[in-house]
């Protein structure tokens, strides 16, 4: 009887089931208790930890970049300003498929091949920033189109940025410098914390030198974001502190005039006030319009290739032999060291020769100057006179005296990357050229040729010292700062003012006045209007040496790049000078033909049109 | 009145109602206040309620007679799923029936134990012989074969566990339990080597060390733990969970619904939720203990244990003590198939209770 068997076993089977069921429920209950303990640990014991994690998930700090300070000229005319523009950006960290996004954007607003190329280039380059610009300067319709598809693609966004605008275009280009993408090198100098959400920084010129002033302090926004990085709402905001404005010593009208005179040449001109070091105009030519994107593409651009190094700031980086412009200082050296006296006359033939040497050091005047004293030597720029003087002084005395005028050193102007030029000595030549210094080297240094190299700003600076009879002022572009003279400069000034007699200063100042105002002066014919009492000195720098065998100067056959550099230094008025100028024009011809007339025109423009404003 | 509606235990009924209706509210939060999804789930709930009432009205012996047919229908549906199933994320787990997608493997959690209970109650000899044991495992592994092919290892393991519970309750000898445990231990490394796919291994690895893969599968576990942990004692409040509302938490409606709950209602809320579940389970235990018939006793006992198992597994996933195996939280998770299996289970429980 099967039924009875089940009945027989029923009690047994039920007991077994109850037993098993109890075990099972017990096991599961124990597991549940473990689980509750686990939850207790997560929610109560480790609450702080997980709460922080959840807050860092949802809250992001976003830096808001400050508005960059405006740059003004001395009359509060804007030289650099900001204007806003919109660009499409892709955040490569947030986006899943960059190519897909680019195609989608391309479909909406159209991208050029170049734009896509540049995007990929930037993508592969290092950046501390994940957003990369795909297209800039969007118009309203384009903005709307991109915004319409934005929700479909994580990482795609339209951002408003401030763009630097330079209303005077290329006229102020080299002084103001430019701003560009922050690169690795910049990050060494910049405070990373302040540049988290910023792509640009000052790269050259005033923009670079006064980066800390112009930049300001970034603000921040605490925003709530979702898992895909989209901003949901602002929680807290602190607005950025805009950068401070910078007021320059430049006079834009004078700058414009100077630029108009130089724009057809390669060269530089600097006009500065010797009383306070204020630079009123400073031009380096050629240049390019910083508002064009050219600044970002460097040398591979066709338009740039055609020009002669337009990115090169000749005013502070161009290295030129000073040529005859050095003669007044050398004359002062001779007087000071009692090698010559102002009235002593010498015979200056067509050339100078060192004893026991066949080499002829020619004068620029083929027939020679005849009988010359110091004044005449400066007025007519007699080379032979200064060959002799240099030979008698020796290189030691020459360089140690040039040092008082800070040749071979930075002037300390408030511009970045200033060059120091070269003030050669025996040690310098052995180290850099590999040969010992020769007497011949000394001779040609006497007319500012050879290894001696200066920058235009150094020439302007040295000229200001001459105009000041030894007082030193450091050139500056920022109107509101006081340039501090360090101990070394003060020592030099002390020497120049106290150790050199006023009579000697006056001798060379008088000679320089006559260069412009006496009929046989090298700059006499170059200066039409003499009512402003200009003093000056011309210089012509040979870029190549004439053959020793021939005296014939076939200037017509020389290619452009071997033509002489034309130099001029000057100041006005004679008594109590208020402006100093230094001008260099490359590969053009003599100083009296080009640099002198241009410089004196600029000086006259200053007195006729600018000075009355102050 | 209750008898007419075939609802024989009003306490159980009320708690099921409360939890599942609360589930809709929780879903509203988990889906970023998507009313459409909530309405769809609500209608599924209504459908499942009707199903439950129908099942509960069927005589338990009648249900027993139907069991093999239900089992075979499940197998057929599984085969269909494998060949004509709906492809999603590289897995074929669903079939579309009259516009509704159905995941048959979910229902196996109940139908496999049903089949086993039927099989055990066939013979009067309640002792489980080796032959019986082998046949039992055949019943379990026949559907699992299809589920593994889908592929869905997580659900396969759960089905295996559900079946094992029934065999255990059916009175398997201690000797066999020892053998089987030994076998499992021996085969574990072999399974790891040959049976698991790389992504499945990764899931298990990241469970022990979520930081090893914070952006991949570890991300889910990490975000879920953050959600639970940041809920604290009192929770962030309904609709205020940042992890869920800002979508840091993945699979919020299904696998990680518990994390949504934990974040918004905190430790205290979890205790209350567990009390509600406990109430349901205690009623089930009570009904099981009162069951008069062998089939109904084993089946309702299995269902009760399976219910606890599912709750534990889902919560363990959310708090990072089990790998993400895709187990839903009974009555709260989004999805129709799991709801059908749960309400089918409650229908059976009510049917058992009616017989009592």
* Residue carrying the six token digits 């024989």: B8
CATH number of the domain that A75 lies in?
3.90.1310.10
Whether A39 sits inside 8 A of B315 (CB atoms) is: yes
Residue ranges of chain B whose CB lies within 8 Å of a chain A CB: 124-126, 165, 168-169, 171, 223, 225-233, 242-243, 246-248, 262, 266-267, 270-271, 274, 285, 288-289, 294, 297-298, 301, 304-305, 308-309, 311-312, 315-316, 319, 321
Burial of A275 (C-beta count, 10 Å sphere; 0-12/13-18/19+): middle
- A215 and A273 within one domain: no
Q: What is the pLDDT of residue A192?
A: 82
Task: Give B54→chain A minimum CA distance, Å.
Answer: 28
Test B267 with A39 for CB contact under 8 angstroms. yes
What's chain B's Rg over C-alpha atoms?
20
Residue A271 has pLDDT above 90, yes or no: yes
Q: Does A30 touch chain B (CB under 8 A)?
A: no
Q: What is the b/e burial string over B285-302, where b = at least 16 CB atoms within 10 angstroms of the residue's CB?
A: bebbbebebbbbbbbbbb
Residues of A within 8 A of B270 (CB-CB) are 36, 39, 43
Residues of A in contact with B262 (CB under 8 A): 39, 43
Are B230 and A225 a contacting pair at CB < 8 A?
no
pLDDT tens figures, A106-126: 888 888 888 888 888 877 775
Instruction: Match 């040295």 to its residue by tokens.
Output: A462
Cβ-based burial of A509 (10 A; exposed 0-12, middle 13-18, buried ≥19): buried
Would you give the DSSP letter of residue A162? E
Quick one: how far is CA A367 from the chain centroid? 45
Measured between CB atoms, does A2 come within 8 Å of chain B? yes
Q: Structure tokens of A176?
A: 């103001």
Q: Are B30 and B288 in contact (CB under 8 A)?
A: no
Final residue belonging to a domain, choices A247, A272, A297? A247
Q: Is the pLDDT of residue A555 over 70?
A: no
A373-397: per-residue pLDDT in tens?
Answer: 999 999 999 999 999 999 999 999 9
**Of B83, B147, B138, B82, nearest in space to B109 by CA:** B147
Domain boundary among A192, A216, A247: A247
Asked if B317 and B323 count as a contact pair (C-beta separation under 8 A), the reply is yes
Least Cα distance to A541 among A523, A508, A568, A515 occurs for A568
Q: What chain A residue is nearest to B305 in terms of C-alpha separation?
A: A25
Secondary structure tally for chain B: helices H, strands E: 13, 3
Between residues 52 and 71 of chain A, which touch chain B (CB distance below 8 Å)? 53-55, 57-58
Q: What angle do CA A274, A342, A505 make, to 5 degrees?
A: 20
Clarify whether residues A71 and A37 are in a common domain: no
CB within 8 Å: A50 and B226: yes
Which residues of chain B make contact with A2, given a CB cutoff of 8 A?
Answer: 124
Q: Is residue A51 part of a domain?
A: no
User: What's the pLDDT at A301?
Assistant: 63
More confident: A86 or A568: A568
C-alpha span between A285 and A259 (Å, rounded): 8
* A23-38 average pLDDT score: 95
Q: What percent of chain A has pLDDT over 70?
A: 93
**Residue A513 within any structural domain of the chain:** yes
Do residues A411 and A548 lie in contact, with contact meaning Cβ atoms separated by under 8 Å?
no
Whether residue B124 and residue A35 make contact (CB cut-off 8 A), yes or no, is no
Closest chain B residue to A21 measured between Cα atoms?
B169
Angle, helices B336-355/B294-318, rounded to nearest 10 degrees: 150
Residue A551: pLDDT band (50, 70, 90) is very low
**CB-facing half-sphere around the CA of B222: CA atoms within 13 A:** 16
Residue A399 and residue A340 in one domain: yes
Selecting from A25, A28, A40 the residue whose C-beta is nearest the C-beta of B312 gives A28
Is the preceding peptide bond at A573 cis, omega within 30 degrees of 0? yes
Say yes or no: A241 and A262 in one domain.
Answer: no
CA distance B121 to B226: 47
> Contact B171/A38, CB-based, under 8 Å?
no
Do A118 and A66 share a structural domain? yes
- Tell me the three state secondary structure of residue A438: coil
Q: Is the Cβ of A46 closer than 8 Å to some Cβ of chain B?
A: yes
Q: Which residues neighbour B48 within 8 Å (Cβ) at sequence distance 6 or greater?
A: B336, B339, B340, B342, B343
Q: What one-character DSSP code corresponds to residue B192?
A: H
A286 prior amide bond cis, ω within 30: yes
Q: Is A54 exposed, middle or buried (0-12, 13-18, 19+ CB in 10 A)?
A: buried
What is the model's pTM? 0.70
Say whether both A21 and A92 belong to one domain: no
CA atoms within 13 A on the CB side of A92: 16
Q: Which residues of chain A neighbour B229 with C-beta distances below 8 Å? A: 42-43, 46-47, 49-51, 53-54
User: What's the pLDDT at A127?
Assistant: 59
Q: Do A13 and B294 touch (CB under 8 A)?
A: yes
A136: annotated active-site residue: no
CA dist., res. B291 & res. A395, Å (int): 121
A116 with A35, same domain?
Answer: no
Nearest to B246 among A12, A21, A232 (CB): A232
Contact A46 B229 (CB under 8 A): yes
Chain-wide mean pLDDT for chain A? 87
Nearest chain B residue to A41, by CA = B229
Within 8 A of A42 by CB-CB distance, chain B residues are: 225, 228-229, 319
User: pLDDT tens digit string along A291-350?
Assistant: 876 455 455 566 666 677 888 899 999 999 999 999 999 999 999 999 998 888 899 889
Whether A171 and A273 map to the same domain: the answer is no
- What pLDDT is recorded for position B55? 93
Query: Which residues on A lie below 8 Å from B226 (Cβ)?
Result: 50, 53-54, 57
- Do B261 and B277 touch, CB atoms closer than 8 A? no
Question: Which pLDDT value is given to residue B7?
Answer: 65
Residues A404 and A535 in one domain: yes
Q: Domain-by-domain residue ranges, chain B?
A: 10-355
From first to last of its 356 residues, what are the pLDDT tens digits of chain B?
A: 445 455 678 899 999 999 999 999 999 999 989 999 999 999 999 999 999 999 999 999 999 999 999 999 999 999 988 887 777 666 777 777 766 788 889 999 999 999 999 999 887 666 777 888 999 999 999 999 999 888 888 889 899 999 999 999 988 888 888 888 888 888 888 877 776 777 777 777 766 666 665 555 678 888 999 999 999 999 999 999 999 999 899 889 988 999 999 999 999 999 999 999 999 999 999 999 998 888 999 999 999 999 999 999 999 999 988 888 888 999 999 988 999 999 999 999 999 988 77
Query: Using CB atoms and an 8 Å cut-off, which of residues 288-347 of chain A contact chain B?
Result: none
pLDDT for B210: 62
Q: Could you tell me which of A404, A405, A449 has the C-alpha nearest to residue A424?
A: A449
A17 touches chain B (CB under 8 A): yes
Write down the pLDDT at residue A6.
44
Residues 217-276 of A with CB under 8 A from B: 224-228, 232
Given an 8 Å threshold on Cβ–Cβ distance, is A20 in contact with B168?
A: yes
Q: Which tens digit of pLDDT belongs to each residue from A411-460?
A: 999 999 999 999 998 899 999 988 999 999 999 999 999 999 999 999 99
CB B37 within 8 A of CB B257: no
Q: Are A565 and A587 in contact (CB under 8 A)?
A: yes
With H, G, I as helix, E, B as strand and everything else as coil, classify residue A207.
Answer: helix
A7 in B contact zone (CB under 8 Å)? no
Task: Output the CA torsion sign for A597, A598, A602, A605.
Answer: positive
**Do A107 and A229 fall into the same domain?**
yes
Q: Indicate if A196 and A306 belong to the same structural domain.
A: no
Q: Which residues of chain A are within 8 Å of residue B309 when distances are taken between CB atoms?
A: 28
Domain residues for A24?
2-45
Same domain, A10 and A97: no
- Nearest Cα neighbor of A87 from A147, A44, A35 is A147
Of A127-131, A163-167, A426-430, B194-198, which range is least confident? Answer: A127-131
Q: Which residues pair with A90 in a beta bridge?
A: A132, A156
Instruction: Provide the pLDDT for residue A5.
Output: 39
For chains A and B, CB pairs below 8 A equal 126
Residue A552: its pLDDT value, please?
47
Residue A599: which residues within 8 A CB-CB, separation 6 or more? Answer: A269, A536, A568, A570, A581, A583
pLDDT tens digits along A331-340? 999 999 999 9
Cβ atoms within 10 Å of A560's Cβ, excluding its own: 10
What is the 3 state secondary structure string of A456-521?
Answer: HHHHHHHHHHHHCCCCCCCCECECCCCCCCCHHHHHHHHHHHHCCCHHHHHHHHHHHHHHHHCCCC
Beta bridge partners of B102: B95
The ipTM assigned to this model is 0.92
Search chain A and give the residue with CA nearest B246. Answer: A226
Buried b (16+ CB within 10 A) or exposed e, A63-97: bebbbbbbbbbbeeeebbeeeeebbbbbbbebbee
Phi, psi of B41 (to 5 degrees): -65, -35
pLDDT value of residue B192 = 76
Interface contact B316-A35, CB threshold 8 A: yes
- The token pair at A612 is 């009355």
Provide the token pair at B76. 């057929």
3-state secondary structure A99-114: HHHHHHHHHHHCCCHH
- Total Cβ atoms within 10 A of residue B176: 14
Q: Which residues of B touch A51 (CB under 8 A)?
A: 229-230, 232
A54 within some domain: no
Whether residue A357 is predicted with pLDDT greater than 70 in this model: the reply is yes
Best CA proximity match to B260, nearest among B318, B327, B328, B310 = B318
3-class SS letters over A246-274: EEECCCHHHHHHHHHHHCCCCEEEEEECC
Cα gap A397→B115, rounded to integer Å = 115
Nearest residue on chain B to A2, alpha-carbon basis? B124
The number of distinct structural domains making up chain A is: 3
Name which of A21, A96, A224, A233 to mutate to probe chain B: the one with the most chain B Cβ atoms within 10 A of its Cβ: A21
* Span A575-598, pLDDT tens digits: 999 999 999 999 888 878 899 999
Count of C-beta atoms within a 10 Å radius of residue A355 = 6
The tokens of A287 are what? 């240049």
* Closest chain A residue to B267, measured at CA: A43
Name the DSSP letter for residue A231.
Answer: E
What is the Cα A570 distance to its own chain's centre? 25
Determine which one of A131, A321, A324, A590 is catalytic. Answer: A324
Kindly determine whether residue A43 and residue B321, on different chains, have CB atoms separated by under 8 Å.
no
- Taking residue A99's Cβ as centre, other Cβ atoms within 10 Å add up to 10
Write down the pLDDT at residue B1. Answer: 41
Q: How far is CA B66 from the centre of its chain?
A: 22
Spell out where chain B has E strands: 86-88, 91-97, 100-102
């Amino acid at each position: 009887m099967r039924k009875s068997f089940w009945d027989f076993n029923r009690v047994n089977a039920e007991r077994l089931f109850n037993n098993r069921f109890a075990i099972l429920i017990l096991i599961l209950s124990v597991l549940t208790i473990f689980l509750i303990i686990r939850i207790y640990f997560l929610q109560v014991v480790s609450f702080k930890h997980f709460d922080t994690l959840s807050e860092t998930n949802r809250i992001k700090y976003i830096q808001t970049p400050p508005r960059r300070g405006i740059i003004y000229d001395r009359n509060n005319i804007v030289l650099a300003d900001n204007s806003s523009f919109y660009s499409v950006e892709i955040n490569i960290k947030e986006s899943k498929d960059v190519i897909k996004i680019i195609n989608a954007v391309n479909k909406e607003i159209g991208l050029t091949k170049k734009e896509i190329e540049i995007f990929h280039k930037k993508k592969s380059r290092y950046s501390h920033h994940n957003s990369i610009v795909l297209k800039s300067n969007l118009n309203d319709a384009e903005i709307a189109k991109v915004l319409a598809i934005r929700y479909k693609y994580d990482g795609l966004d339209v951002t408003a940025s401030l763009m630097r605008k330079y209303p005077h275009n290329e006229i102020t280009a080299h002084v103001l410098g430019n701003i560009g993408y922050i690169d690795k090198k910049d990050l060494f100098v910049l405070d990373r914390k302040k540049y988290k959400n910023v792509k640009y920084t000052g790269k050259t010129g005033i923009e670079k030198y006064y980066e800390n002033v112009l930049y300001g302090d970034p603000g921040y926004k605490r925003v709530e974001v979702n898992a895909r990085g989209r901003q949901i709402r602002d929680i807290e905001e602190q607005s950025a502190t805009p950068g401070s404005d910078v007021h320059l010593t430049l006079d834009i009208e004078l700058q414009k005039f100077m630029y108009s005179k130089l724009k057809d040449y390669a060269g530089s001109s600097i006009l500065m006030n010797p009383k306070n070091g204020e630079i009123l105009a400073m031009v380096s030519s050629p240049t390019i319009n910083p508002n064009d994107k050219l600044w970002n593409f460097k040398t591979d651009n066709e338009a740039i290739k055609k020009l002669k190094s337009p990115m090169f700031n000749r005013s502070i980086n161009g290295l030129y032999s000073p040529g005859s412009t050095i003669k007044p200082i050398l004359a002062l050296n001779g007087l000071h060291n009692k090698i010559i006296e102002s009235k002593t006359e010498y015979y200056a033939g067509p050339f100078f020769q060192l004893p026991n040497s066949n080499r002829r050091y020619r004068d620029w005047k083929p027939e020679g100057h005849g009988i010359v004293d110091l004044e005449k030597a400066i007025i007519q720029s007699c080379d032979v006179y200064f060959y002799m003087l240099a030979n008698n002084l020796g290189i030691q005395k020459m360089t140690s005296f040039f040092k008082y005028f800070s040749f071979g050193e930075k002037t300390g102007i408030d511009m970045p990357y200033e060059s120091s030029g070269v003030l050669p000595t025996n040690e310098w030549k052995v180290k850099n050229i590999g040969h010992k210094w020769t007497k011949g080297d000394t001779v040609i240094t006497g007319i500012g040729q050879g290894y001696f190299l200066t920058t235009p700003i150094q020439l302007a600076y040295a000229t200001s010292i001459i105009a000041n009879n030894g007082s030193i002022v450091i050139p500056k572009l920022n109107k509101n700062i006081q340039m501090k003279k360090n101990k070394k400069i003060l020592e030099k000034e002390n020497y120049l003012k106290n150790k050199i007699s006023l009579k000697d200063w006056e001798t060379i100042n008088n000679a320089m006045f006559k260069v412009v105002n006496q009929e046989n002066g090298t700059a006499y014919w170059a200066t039409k209007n003499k009512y402003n009492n200009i003093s000056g000195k011309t210089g012509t720098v040979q870029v190549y040496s004439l053959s020793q065998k021939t005296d014939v100067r076939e200037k017509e056959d020389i290619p452009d790049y071997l033509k002489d550099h034309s130099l001029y230094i000057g100041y006005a008025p004679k008594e109590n000078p208020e402006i100093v100028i230094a001008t260099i024009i490359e590969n053009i011809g003599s100083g009296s033909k080009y640099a002198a007339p241009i410089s004196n025109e600029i000086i006259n423009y200053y007195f006729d049109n600018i000075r009355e404003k102050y | 009145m209750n008898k007419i509606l075939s609802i024989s235990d009003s306490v159980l009924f009320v708690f099921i109602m409360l939890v599942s209706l609360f589930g809709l509210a929780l879903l509203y939060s988990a889906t970023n206040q998507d009313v459409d999804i909530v309405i769809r789930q609500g209608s599924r709930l209504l459908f499942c309620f009707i199903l439950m009432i129908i099942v509960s009205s069927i005589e338990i012996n009648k249900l027993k007679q139907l069991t093999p047919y239900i089992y075979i229908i499940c197998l057929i549906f599984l085969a269909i799923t494998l060949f004509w199933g709906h492809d999603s994320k590289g897995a074929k787990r669903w079939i579309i029936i009259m516009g509704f997608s159905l995941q048959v493997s979910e229902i196996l959690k109940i139908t496999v134990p049903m089949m086993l209970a039927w099989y055990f109650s066939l013979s009067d000899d309640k002792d489980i012989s080796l032959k019986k044991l082998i046949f039992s495992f055949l019943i379990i592994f026949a559907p699992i074969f299809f589920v593994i092919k889908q592929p869905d290892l997580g659900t396969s393991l759960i089905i295996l566990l559900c079946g094992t519970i029934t065999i255990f309750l059916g009175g398997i000898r201690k000797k066999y339990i020892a053998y089987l445990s030994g076998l499992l231990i021996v085969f574990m490394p072999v399974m790891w080597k040959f049976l698991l796919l790389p992504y499945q291994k990764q899931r298990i690895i990241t469970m022990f060390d979520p930081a090893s893969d914070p952006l991949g599968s570890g991300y889910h576990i990490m975000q879920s733990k953050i959600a639970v942990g940041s809920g604290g004692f009192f929770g962030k409040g309904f609709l205020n969970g940042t992890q869920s509302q800002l979508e840091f938490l993945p699979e919020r409606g299904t696998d990680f619904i518990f994390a949504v709950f934990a974040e918004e209602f905190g430790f205290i809320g979890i205790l209350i939720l567990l009390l509600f579940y406990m109430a349901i389970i205690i009623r089930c235990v009570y009904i099981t203990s009162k069951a008069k018939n062998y089939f109904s006793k084993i089946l309702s006992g299995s269902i009760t244990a399976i219910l606890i198992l599912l709750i534990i597994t889902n919560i363990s996933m959310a708090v990072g003590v089990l790998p993400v195996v895709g187990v839903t939280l009974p009555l709260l998770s989004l999805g129709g198939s799991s709801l059908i299996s749960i309400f089918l289970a409650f229908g059976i429980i009510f049917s058992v209770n009616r017989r009592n």
